[in-house]
Structure 1
Amino acid sequence: MSFSFKRLLPHILVLIGFVVLSLAYFSPVLQGKKIYQSDIIHYIGMAQQQKEFAKAEGEETYWTNSAFGGMPTYQLGAKYPHNYIKKLDLTLRFLPRPADYLFLYFISFYILLLCLKVDFKLAALGALAFGFSTYLIIILGVGHNAKAHAIAYMPLVLAGIILTFRKKYILGFLLTTVALGLEIVTNHFQMTYYLMLLVIVLGIAYLVDAYRKKVLPHFFKSVGLLLIAAFLAVGLNATNILATQEYVKESTRGKSELTINPDGSAKEVTSGLSREYITEYSYGLLESFNLYIPKFMGGGNREDVGKDSETYKAYTNLGASPIEALEGSRNAPMYWGDQTIVEAPAYVGAVIIFLFVLGLFLVKGRLKWWLVGGTVLSWILSLGKNWFFVENAKPDSNPITNFFIDYIPLYDKFRAVSSIQVILELCIPILGIFALVRLFNDFQKDEEKLKALKYSVIVTAGLTLVFLLFKSFLFDFESFRDGDYIEAYGQPFIDAVIEDRKSLMTADTLRTLVLVLLSAGTVYFFIKKKLSETLTVVVFAVLLLFDLVSVDRQYVNNDNFTSALRVDKPYQATVADKEILKDKGHYRVLDMSSEGQSKPGRAAYFHNSLFGYHAAKLGRYNELMEFHVYKNNMNVLNMLNTKYIIAEEQGNIFPYTNTDANGNAWFVSKLKAVAGANQEIVALDSLDTKSHAVLENTVFNENNLKANYQLDSTASIQLKAFKPNYLKYESSNSNDGLAVFSEIYYNQGWNAYIDGKLTPHFRVNYVLRALEIPKGSHAIEFKFEPAVVETGSKVALASSAIFGILLLLGIFYEFKQRKAKA
């Protein structure tokens, strides 16, 4: 027992160290403060209604009316029965947010390196290099929690795969199942997809190596086990996966039926996102040097260049007061790359990139090639539309990106291709640490190590010297946004900004050069036996922490934290909100105030909003917004039951009551059948939605509908009860009628009942529900009863049971094996 504890003690100490570092970096959490994340603030607004429902009803709603007219909650934090893998995830994230994600970065990468048979000291060093990588910290600052969550489990998945290929079949299988289950539970399928691409690269490297070593049976046995593990991991997450798969077809990520744009021009027809949308955030060729030199391209869109900057002087020359000039210099437009928005550079680190280059010369075999392959693939795909020697690139400029969009399944479902750089941010630290592993072993002669060191210094330090000596010849430091500043402030202002951009690049290039030389010196002294292995690790730990943390703190620090109350309740009701909330009916609100436009989740916090904040809205509703809502088409606003409009005049916010809103439901006298989606959405421009409805011919014929319905003044339909997932109406009509409901049509779960009998309903007016109602008085109910949740929950329960049995059998087998060896 003492021997086992002695072996575990270093890992326990490392674990405690990771907890301390995570809490130290985000120390305000110890005071009860929370990080203010813009994306999470929007999410809180979007999720408020379902949160209140769960608290009041004691159950989950899988539909919310709070945003975009109504949508499923599958991508809004919905909780599912028998989701035990989620419970494990919550257990692992025991630290306060966002320290929990930083801890996951550390521990996951540490386990990966241990599975690669790296000494615990170097594994801990690698975990620091990965966890403090600037991009991974930045996304925590802005609230990309799901992305950070998914990235954190990536190394753990690789650890399970590698253990399996190392013939640790049982442990590898179990770890892969759990790790991949945790990866999927993060619900960021884009990051998981990118991980899959890296796993394919890894698999190719292992396949080639197995072929050369004539061990193909072992390779295919491992692949078979991993496929079973993947199948089980999917099963553990069955409900979310099935629900997402169902929803994505109806969302903006699915195929649109429209072939025209709002202006009438021809639309690019795709099965996923448009090429332009996919490549909107493409990494620049020059921008790639940000990975090595943090402010090579100025840093972020808003940088604090201080009182001694040329930008500060330019503001004062324009007549700004010292306070105004200081404020301007704290938000200086230093970034001169091609991306629209950049919060901070995706800095990997000068020290770890130096070690990565050293690893290129010292490390051999399959490990090197899958890491290099993953790095190169990640970098090329991150360029998106950009390509060599192409300026002002169009969305189809990069042939490799085009190939992936056109031929690689699911690639066209994701945008912001620059984020695939998370793969190189994972691969680079691994190879960098293995450079030290090879440095510390005796398999290579000191002469070979010195030769590798020399070449590494030539490459890394040589590159920085080129930038220092020739920057004015190589770069113009101009941004595509500079024209706006010239128009506003004049050419002298932008000249001053350019001087500050040059200064930032020079300072950070010198910084990188110094760090490279210190790193090279440390390696040199170790080779010359002037430093011990332990002291070398300590020196590199200090260099890494200084290198990465000093950059991280410029963008995410204690200033990002605020009181827990401000985060938990980020929106305060205005006079307009309070006035509208006096109306206890069921209606929608259009927030046109400046705050409502800048904070699209705000209105959803209090009301059923027409707008919201989400990356995967219902596709048809998004098209309705583009064609009509954004243009304030009152016909469309009325049919959506927009009873209140929050307006603003000269800073005063007030509610405008729209007395022309159609209400919750109404009978129409005429149905207009049109040829397709194009004609249906265009027809809404002038349609009298109070008495007429429009629909596609196919829907008209499938439901055996009539073109005309007799309608008299006594016909009525009234909403009597409503919840996010339930609506009840009472109708009275002396004739058979057609009722239109101001509710978003979504046939994957919404069921209509007339007097308790399930009755088919259909879509009209591009997004709304309609139902034929027999004459007389009737009770009509709409219930959201998604079958996918029930089916998925059963699969998740079965998968959890199967994995539990396999886990117990695996533990029993390992125990017997160890006992037999003893």
Structure 2
Amino acid sequence: MNIKKFLPFLIPILSFVVIALAYFSPVLEGKELYQSDIAQFRGMSKEVKEHRAEFQEEPYWTNRAFGGMPTYQLSTYYPHDYVKKVDSLLRFLPRPADYLFLYFLGFFVLLSVLKVEWKLAFIGALGFGFSTYLIIILGVGHNAKAHAIAYMPMVLAGLLLVFDKKYLQGFILTAAAMALEINASHPQMTYYLLFAVLIFGIIYLIEAYKERKLPEFAGQIGLLMVAVVLAVGVNATSLLATKEYADHSTRSRSELTINPDGSPKEISSGLSREYITQYSFGFLETFDLFIPRFMGGSNNEKLDKESYTYRFLKDKAGRKQALNFAENAPMYWGDQPIVAAPPYLGSVLIFLFVLGAILIKGPMKKWLIAVTVFSIVLSWGKNFSLITNFFIDYVPLYNKFRAVSSIQVIAELAVPLLAILGLQKFLSENTKKEERLKAFKWAGISVAGLALFFTAFGANLFSFESFRDPGYENMLAGLSDILIEDRRTIFFQDSLRSLVYVVITACLLWLFLTDKIKRNVVIGGILILVVVDLVVVDQRYVNNDDFITKSRLEKPFDLSPMQSEILKDKGHYRVLNFMVDPLNDGSTSFFHNSIGGYHAAKPRRYQELYEFQIARNNIEVLNMLNTKYFIFPGENNVENVQLNQEANGNAWFVDQIEFVDTANEEIRALDSLDTEKGVVLTRDFEPVLEGRSFVKDSTDSIVLASYKANEMVYETNTSSDQLAVFSEIYYKDGWSAYVDGELIPHMRANYVLRAAVIPAGNHTLVFKFEPKVIHTGSIISLVSYGLLLLIPLGWYLKARKSKKGPTDKEGPTDKEGPTEKNESIQVI
């Protein structure tokens, strides 16, 4: 075995391990990165983990949040999820070093498929992985997003192999990478990847038409479609479960046609236009890709003691308060609600991107420029409403996702890719000197000129005012003017910084162009520049200070004395915490069954119930949800607890039935409903009651005898048939009701709860969560796994039998492999 043959792969991969661990070095001490979103996730998933540990099964449901919801997006382990096992092999490092390693690895694979020299592919991988946006999403805990982004390059690599006529390898890599991409469970990122693939397909369809190769193109697309279908198939369980829940979530069409104030509601099959575009990238903000703090950086920027802000506050409020404020200074002056860091791509890579855009010819350049422009334009959101509204109204699924600014991840991938291809072309001895000189000249003039312009004149071009400044001015007169001065200062500093990096990069290339330095010196210099450029900015936002001990991470929320008192009550009830925003709170769910919760796709009807009734403090609605305790701020914001003795309990009998025709009538009926006596049902459920009436008897009883997240057992004793309402959330696609082991129908009551007819006598009523989607998905997954193994194996055996070997010369439509002249850039 010739080890030298594998060194170009082993050296970079081992280096990626070392670099990922070095950047997140506290993981070597057993520490973990504190991620705010993951802390909330731990609260939301607490009951799931406890149930799994106690009963050795997946509950698929939790009552800890929003009254109750499926756990399909909350730490669920699906049967036969072998893709996740493969993923765990690739992510063998401690988190979050595992994601950083995966960034590096995926991009290195992509560049290797493009036949880029391993040293340059190594630079590109680091440039992609250290992109500031990709680091900051790890810092705040968007792990699923990072996970999905990391597999994007591998999916593209598989696609490119197929178009390079390496059909078997391309099929295997596409199917495997796409399976891993879907398994990462961030549909929004996968959806954006499909846009990039679609644009690729359009550009190469045009090329195929020009070259009269449409049958070959059709065969390649067909092969890729088979690979994608199998990738979807092996993830069938999670996809079907997610689709099922999505139809019940805020990502689906509401049945209501009115807002809480009675005004007409915007009719949409997904999220509201305002919610989708809440995080829209500004036109000027696009320059953050090139100059890190063009728009001030973040909402919590760290300033030093030389800053205007610190010196101003030191004299007004003292050193301690001045330092605390200056270390979390509101420097961002754009229009987005919250920005944790600018999406900096690196001035060095931007320069090389422009160089590549001039040097590279063919469809590859067209594709990479097209997807870059496409992603940036769509990231503008409401700031370019003509395009955004078209996509929301007419492009399938686009209205299911929020934070349109995040589509810039496609540019995060395309820019370093074209940059490295451009650098390779520039350094190639086959590239004419005149071509290099022309590209160098125009890249230098445009990129260095832009940086010089902003350095020289930018501080006087903009107001640097934020829409939040009036609030700071109200806090302390003159503070807003001081903040503007610091924004102007850091704008100049970072503009000059980008100019310096571009000039140094240009000098390296010029020295190579004039034969003053060797090729490897240029590569080494570019490597240092790319890494230092990006890492220095990354460290402003995610660094060693963000790590805490593992024990502290496992218990992200402190149990207060008041909450400890609540936990002495061993019953089954709910808690409403007014100390936080209930609809964005996973902390209460860590300890109690919460009225609130933290999730990107909340149960739609429950959110509507909150907006129409709970937010208006309708105590009857809180009673029907069995809200037994209220946590609220007292004097000096000290936590207090109040017992609600009027809570309806786990279940109760009613004898007043009101049938309504529409969702509007259903939710409005709760305005005045006495929930302990009456119930509101839609006419869909009228046949279940068969026109019967009920009379309550004070001696009748219904008691919750045992509780599990996915199973509740009630003991009933009634003298006649009774209609019972349960304080549990109705979810038709999973919950089943059994009386003495026999399945009975149950109904949606009071907009979100369950109701069922209880026969006279002593009986046992059991609610079980039995989602059929899990069984159906498991069968599809197993069949897909079988096909995913058999198709390549059969292909391989057939090739061997025909004595052609498992080469790529035998494809679906083309019998000839690539020639020596068929270099990657021409092929793709």
TM over 0.5: yes
- Taking a change above 3 Å as real, the CA distance of residues 527 and 810 of structure 1, as seen in their structure-2 partners, is farther
- Letter aligned with residue 365 of structure 1: G
Deviation at 1:644, TM superposition (A): 1.5
Structure 2 equivalent of residue 276 of structure 1: 274
Matched residue of 2:255: which SS?
coil
Structure 2 equivalent of residue 51 of structure 1: 49
Structure 1 equivalent of residue 621 of structure 2: 636
Structure 1 equivalent of residue 821 of structure 2: none
Structure 2 equivalent of residue 449 of structure 1: 436
Matched residue of 1:684: which SS?
helix
CA contact (8 A) 2:583 2:596 kept: no
CA contact (8 A) 1:300 1:345 kept: yes
Structure 1 equivalent of residue 39 of structure 2: 41
Matched residue of 1:695: which SS?
strand
Aligned counterparts of 1:102 and 1:549: Cα–Cα separation in 2: 13
Q: How does 1:128-147 map to 2 (within 5 A)?
A: 128-147=126-145
Structure 2 equivalent of residue 747 of structure 1: 732
CA contact (8 A) 2:740 2:763 kept: yes
Deviation at 1:818, TM superposition (A): 5.2
Aligned counterparts of 1:792 and 1:152: Cα–Cα separation in 2: 26
Structure 2 equivalent of residue 164 of structure 1: 162
Structure 2 equivalent of residue 685 of structure 1: 671
Deviates more, 1:139-148 or 1:515-524: 515-524
Structure 1 equivalent of residue 353 of structure 2: 356
What are the superposed Cα offsets for residues 649-670 of structure 1, whole Å, 9 maximum, x if unpaired?
Answer: 1243343221111011111011
- Taking a change above 3 Å as real, the CA distance of residues 819 and 661 of structure 1, as seen in their structure-2 partners, is closer
Matched residue of 2:151: which SS?
helix
What is the root-mean-square deviation in Å for CA atoms of aligned residues? 1.6
Structure 1 equivalent of residue 475 of structure 2: 488
Deviation at 1:598, TM superposition (A): 10
Q: Are 2:173 and 1:188 equivalent residues in the alignment?
A: no
Matched residue of 1:123: which SS?
helix
Q: Are 2:623 and 1:606 equivalent residues in the alignment?
A: no
Structure 1 equivalent of residue 153 of structure 2: 155
Structure 2 equivalent of residue 767 of structure 1: 752
Structure 1 equivalent of residue 171 of structure 2: 173
Deviation at 1:811, TM superposition (A): 5.3
Q: 1:645 aligns with which of 612, 616, 630?
A: 630
Deviation at 1:699, TM superposition (A): 3.0
Matched residue of 1:385: which SS?
helix
Q: Are 2:186 and 1:200 equivalent residues in the alignment?
A: no
Structure 2 equivalent of residue 593 of structure 1: 579
Structure 2 equivalent of residue 721 of structure 1: 706
Q: 2:368 aligns with which of 361, 368, 371?
A: 371
Aligned counterparts of 1:110 and 1:364: Cα–Cα separation in 2: 22
- Letter aligned with residue 170 of structure 1: L
Matched residue of 1:10: which SS?
helix
Structure 1 equivalent of residue 399 of structure 2: 412
- Letter aligned with residue 256 of structure 2: L
Matched residue of 1:781: which SS?
strand
Aligned-residue sequence identity (percent) comes to 54
Deviation at 1:255, TM superposition (A): 0.7
Q: 2:497 aligns with which of 511, 517, 528?
A: 511
Q: Are 2:326 and 1:341 equivalent residues in the alignment?
A: no
Deviation at 1:643, TM superposition (A): 1.2
What are the superposed Cα offsets for residues 382-404 of structure 1, whole Å, 9 maximum, x if unpaired?
Answer: 000003xxxxxxxxxx1111111
Q: 1:312 aligns with which of 281, 304, 310?
A: 310
Deviation at 1:599, TM superposition (A): 7.5
- Taking a change above 3 Å as real, the CA distance of residues 734 and 685 of structure 1, as seen in their structure-2 partners, is same
Matched residue of 1:751: which SS?
strand
Q: How does 1:109-120 map to 2 (within 5 A)?
A: 109-120=107-118
Deviation at 1:705, TM superposition (A): 4.4
- Structure 2 regions of 5+ residues with no counterpart? 809-828
Q: 1:661 aligns with which of 644, 647, 655?
A: 647
Structure 1 equivalent of residue 323 of structure 2: 326
- Taking a change above 3 Å as real, the CA distance of residues 410 and 174 of structure 1, as seen in their structure-2 partners, is same
Aligned counterparts of 1:588 and 1:143: Cα–Cα separation in 2: 27
Deviation at 1:331, TM superposition (A): 1.3
CA contact (8 A) 2:582 2:597 kept: no
Aligned counterparts of 1:236 and 1:611: Cα–Cα separation in 2: 34
Q: 1:479 aligns with which of 466, 481, 491?
A: 466
What are the superposed Cα offsets for residues 131-188 of structure 1, whole Å, 9 maximum, x if unpaired?
Answer: 0000000000000000000000000000000001111110100000000000000110
- Taking a change above 3 Å as real, the CA distance of residues 503 and 226 of structure 1, as seen in their structure-2 partners, is same
Aligned counterparts of 1:819 and 1:270: Cα–Cα separation in 2: 51
Deviates more, 1:667-676 or 1:441-450: 441-450
Deviation at 1:646, TM superposition (A): 2.0
Structure 2 equivalent of residue 800 of structure 1: 785
Matched residue of 1:178: which SS?
helix
CA contact (8 A) 1:74 1:240 kept: yes
CA contact (8 A) 1:205 1:369 kept: yes
Aligned counterparts of 1:123 and 1:541: Cα–Cα separation in 2: 10
CA contact (8 A) 1:670 1:707 kept: no
Deviation at 1:465, TM superposition (A): 2.0
Deviation at 1:820, TM superposition (A): 9.4
Matched residue of 2:317: which SS?
coil
What are the superposed Cα offsets for residues 695-736 of structure 1, whole Å, 9 maximum, x if unpaired?
Answer: 223333x43444742112112111111100001111122222
- Letter aligned with residue 480 of structure 1: F
Deviation at 1:253, TM superposition (A): 0.4
Q: Are 2:504 and 1:530 equivalent residues in the alignment?
A: no
CA contact (8 A) 1:575 1:654 kept: no
What are the superposed Cα offsets for residues 728-761 of structure 1, whole Å, 9 maximum, x if unpaired?
Answer: 1111222221110100000001001111111111
Deviation at 1:192, TM superposition (A): 0.2
Q: 1:464 aligns with which of 451, 456, 462?
A: 451
- Letter aligned with residue 293 of structure 2: K
- Taking a change above 3 Å as real, the CA distance of residues 720 and 409 of structure 1, as seen in their structure-2 partners, is same
Aligned counterparts of 2:582 and 2:389: Cα–Cα separation in 1: 34
Deviation at 1:93, TM superposition (A): 0.5
Structure 2 equivalent of residue 11 of structure 1: 9
Matched residue of 2:382: which SS?
coil
Matched residue of 1:666: which SS?
strand
Aligned counterparts of 2:84 and 2:709: Cα–Cα separation in 1: 25
Aligned counterparts of 1:513 and 1:11: Cα–Cα separation in 2: 34
Aligned counterparts of 1:13 and 1:814: Cα–Cα separation in 2: 33
Structure 1 equivalent of residue 106 of structure 2: 108
Aligned counterparts of 2:426 and 2:373: Cα–Cα separation in 1: 24
- Letter aligned with residue 523 of structure 2: V
Q: How does 1:243-262 map to 2 (within 5 A)?
A: 243-262=241-260
Aligned counterparts of 1:699 and 1:529: Cα–Cα separation in 2: 83
CA contact (8 A) 2:67 2:595 kept: yes
Q: Are 2:733 and 1:782 equivalent residues in the alignment?
A: no
Residue correspondences, number: 805
Matched residue of 2:717: which SS?
strand
Q: 2:378 aligns with which of 381, 403, 414?
A: 381
What are the superposed Cα offsets for residues 771-810 of structure 1, whole Å, 9 maximum, x if unpaired?
Answer: 1122222211100000000110111112112212234345
- Taking a change above 3 Å as real, the CA distance of residues 459 and 778 of structure 1, as seen in their structure-2 partners, is same
- Letter aligned with residue 412 of structure 1: N
Deviation at 1:582, TM superposition (A): 1.9
Q: Normalising by structure 2, what TM-score?
A: 0.95
Aligned counterparts of 1:150 and 1:722: Cα–Cα separation in 2: 36
CA contact (8 A) 2:355 2:439 kept: yes
What are the superposed Cα offsets for residues 290-309 of structure 1, whole Å, 9 maximum, x if unpaired?
Answer: 00000111100111111111
Q: Normalising by structure 1, what TM-score?
A: 0.96
Q: Are 2:213 and 1:215 equivalent residues in the alignment?
A: yes
Deviation at 1:626, TM superposition (A): 1.1
Deviation at 1:603, TM superposition (A): 1.2
Deviates more, 1:59-68 or 1:705-714: 705-714
- Letter aligned with residue 164 of structure 2: R
Task: Detail structure 1 runs of 4+ shifted over 4 Å in the superposition.
Answer: 596-599, 810-821
Aligned counterparts of 1:522 and 1:449: Cα–Cα separation in 2: 13
Deviation at 1:819, TM superposition (A): 8.6
Deviates more, 1:103-112 or 1:527-536: 527-536
